Structure 1
Amino acid sequence: MTVAQYGAVAHTRPYLGKIGIRGRERLINAASYLLLLIAIAIVFFPLAWMLTVSVRPNIEVMRMPPTWLPQVFTLEGYRKIFASPRYLLVFANTMMVSLVVTALSLLLGAMAAYALARFKFAGQRAVLMFLITTQMFPLVLLCIPYFRIFITLGLYDTRTSLIVVYLTFTLPFCILMLRSYFINIPRDIEEAAMVDGCSRLGAIFRTLVPMSYPAFIGAGLYTFLLAWNEFLFAVVLIESWENRVLTMAIYSLMAEFVTDWNTMMAFSVLASLPLVMAFIFLQKFMVQGMTAGALTS
């Protein structure tokens, strides 16, 4: 091999190395996208089946082999829901309970989170450990104690009982999430506002709250999802149709011998729409709020 040929080969080696690195990166990216597509298909499969069952008659649901597209298209399930006053009342109850729980969780959680983030006091670490412990406690063990408490207080079969119970497991989460976000905001901003004449409360509302809107949106969305989808305590504490929520109404459509799958899936589609729309438009704020302060103590 001549000197010129050796120099040409040596010159092409870095180029070949770059091609190899780029090829591996493209292969990794292709594998990642393939896994994401598989995950999306797995997640959307039950949603797509729920939607297609909601627009077909019950006789087609049990047909073997099943088909994706309905042979007879019908909106009978949706008509039954919108024509029934008690079903519409169920939607109103669920929305009211979820919004009240979300508002109270954010209001009370923000005040407690600010105190834990800005002040030092005796027992602070014990309070934090207690809040963390509440997130690990099995909620099913609380059904009987809650049932007896609300029977004694005369709050059984009321929407107030659901609001109080939901707050017990949404409020600790909001406190922990908002505290982690408040810690990352420098104290100097509030102190500067107080030097300019603001009270502490005014400094909080003028500086801290506007800067923490991703955390408030994330915590609020998570709280709303929990209250909207909760089933266990609703079954234990609610009996009458006037106070029932969506999960109970959907469950009531299941019978021992005959199940109205068409109406049940239509109910499920309508119940999922607010959550899907909220998550589509607010998911980036939820991710920001839940990841902020993840490394703080």
Structure 2
Amino acid sequence: MILPEIDRAPLRRRRWRAIGVQVACIVITVFMLLPMVLIGLTAVSSPAALLEFPRPFIPSGFSADTLLAFVQATGTIPALGNSLLAGVYTVLLSLLVGAPAGYALARYAFRGKDTYQVFMLLARALPIVVLSVPLATLFLNAGVYDTVFAVTLLHTTLAMPTTVLISASVFVSVPTDVEEAARVFGCSRFEAARRVVFPLAAPGLAAASIFTFVLSWNEILGAAVITLGHRTLPAQVLASLGEAPQTYRFAGGFALILPALVFIFVMRRYLVNMWGTTLR
């Protein structure tokens, strides 16, 4: 008995499709990493290497003088502290307000629910200047202008829609049967949410905190409008670009991306939890 020839075309198509996906991922990754690598190499170049023309891809000399010049510049360390404080405070305040709101969206059905979710996104649709200028006037009248607290309020306003919607998607993935079982065993709705739902949703909430921290760290225009003497690091670098030397500019760019990368690296195992997978 002669067996029919096996059609290997579907297997070859699947293999080429998988290769194409991998190549696309590599290209996108290189496209995103290349500017960071170039900024990092320039930040650790010696001042003499920065003046070379044409400048080679790999610097001819490495030195910590470029980074030290940036760190020792006036206002850098206080601005770094302000950025870290604003980022941490924004994460805490956004989760404190946004996580319960996301839980309500995931567990309750009410009139206008879809409209409410779309309305929240309007805060991100408006240009930052439209929000920062009225908020600057409000902060001046309230006596909190030029403070980390004012920056925290602004960044929380920007991060709240993302935090609420991500939290809602995370809580939807937590089975309601688990919460109902906790209530059967004597827990109130609040206790069931605190003891069962929120611990199960913690990895997803950590992913939301990544987006919130990175948004707060990278935001520059609003912080530049509502602060003068207590600027965040991006606002401080922006204000100093006009008269800053070349070494300050390159080292400042590297300093702006480094903390966010470290934060993402630490929290990376929770980053894709909201899509049902986990990095180890």
Q: Structure 1 length as normaliser, TM-score?
A: 0.82
Q: Distance in 2 between matches of 1:184 and 1:132?
A: 22
The alpha-carbon distance between structure 1 residues 48 and 206, as it changes in their structure 2 partners (threshold 3 A), is same
**SS in structure 2 opposite 1:13?**
coil
**2:77 matched to 1:88?**
yes
1:53/1:261 contact within 8 Å kept: no
Q: Which runs of 5+ in 2 are unaligned?
A: none
1:117/1:182 contact within 8 Å kept: yes
Mapping 1:49-128, distance limit 5 Å: 49-84=38-73, 86-128=75-117
Equivalent AA in structure 1 for residue 161 of structure 2: P
Q: Distance in 1 between matches of 2:114 and 2:11?
A: 50
Provide Cα deviations, 1:120-158, integer angstroms capped at 9, x if missing partner. 445444433321333333333223222222222222211
**2:267 matched to 1:282?**
yes
Q: Distance in 1 between matches of 2:179 and 2:15?
A: 48
Q: Give the number of aligned pairs.
A: 276
Hey, what does 2:211 align to over in structure 1?
Answer: 222
Q: Distance in 2 between matches of 1:142 and 1:35?
A: 38
Hey, what does 1:173 align to over in structure 2?
Answer: 162
**SS in structure 1 opposite 2:75?**
helix
2:106/2:168 contact within 8 Å kept: yes
Hey, what does 1:250 align to over in structure 2?
Answer: 237
Q: Which runs of 5+ in 1 are unaligned?
A: 1-6, 293-297
**SS in structure 2 opposite 1:44?**
helix
2:98/2:163 contact within 8 Å kept: yes
Hey, what does 1:231 align to over in structure 2?
Answer: 220
Provide Cα deviations, 1:65-112, integer angstroms capped at 9, x if missing partner. 220222232211222344457322211111111001100101111122
Equivalent AA in structure 1 for residue 94 of structure 2: S
Equivalent AA in structure 2 for residue 245 of structure 1: T
1:110/1:175 contact within 8 Å kept: yes
**SS in structure 1 opposite 2:242?**
coil
2:67/2:251 contact within 8 Å kept: yes
Equivalent AA in structure 2 for residue 269 of structure 1: F
Q: Distance in 2 between matches of 1:36 and 1:178?
A: 27
Q: Distance in 2 between matches of 1:118 and 1:32?
A: 37
Q: Distance in 1 between matches of 2:246 and 2:29?
A: 25
The alpha-carbon distance between structure 1 residues 62 and 223, as it changes in their structure 2 partners (threshold 3 A), is same
Q: Distance in 1 between matches of 2:11 and 2:149?
A: 60
The alpha-carbon distance between structure 1 residues 180 and 71, as it changes in their structure 2 partners (threshold 3 A), is closer
1:81/1:88 contact within 8 Å kept: no
Deviation at 1:227, TM superposition (A): 0.5
**SS in structure 2 opposite 1:185?**
coil
Deviation at 1:284, TM superposition (A): 4.5
Q: Distance in 2 between matches of 1:182 and 1:223?
A: 18
Equivalent AA in structure 2 for residue 204 of structure 1: A
Hey, what does 1:159 align to over in structure 2?
Answer: 148
Name which of structure 1's ranges 150-159 and 119-128 shifts more when overlaid on structure 2: 119-128
**SS in structure 1 opposite 2:52?**
coil
Equivalent AA in structure 1 for residue 238 of structure 2: Y
Q: Distance in 2 between matches of 1:21 and 1:130?
A: 46
Alignment identity in percent? 25
Mapping 1:11-22, distance limit 5 Å: 11=3, 13-14=5-6, 17-18=7-8, 20-22=9-11
Q: Distance in 2 between matches of 1:129 and 1:30?
A: 38
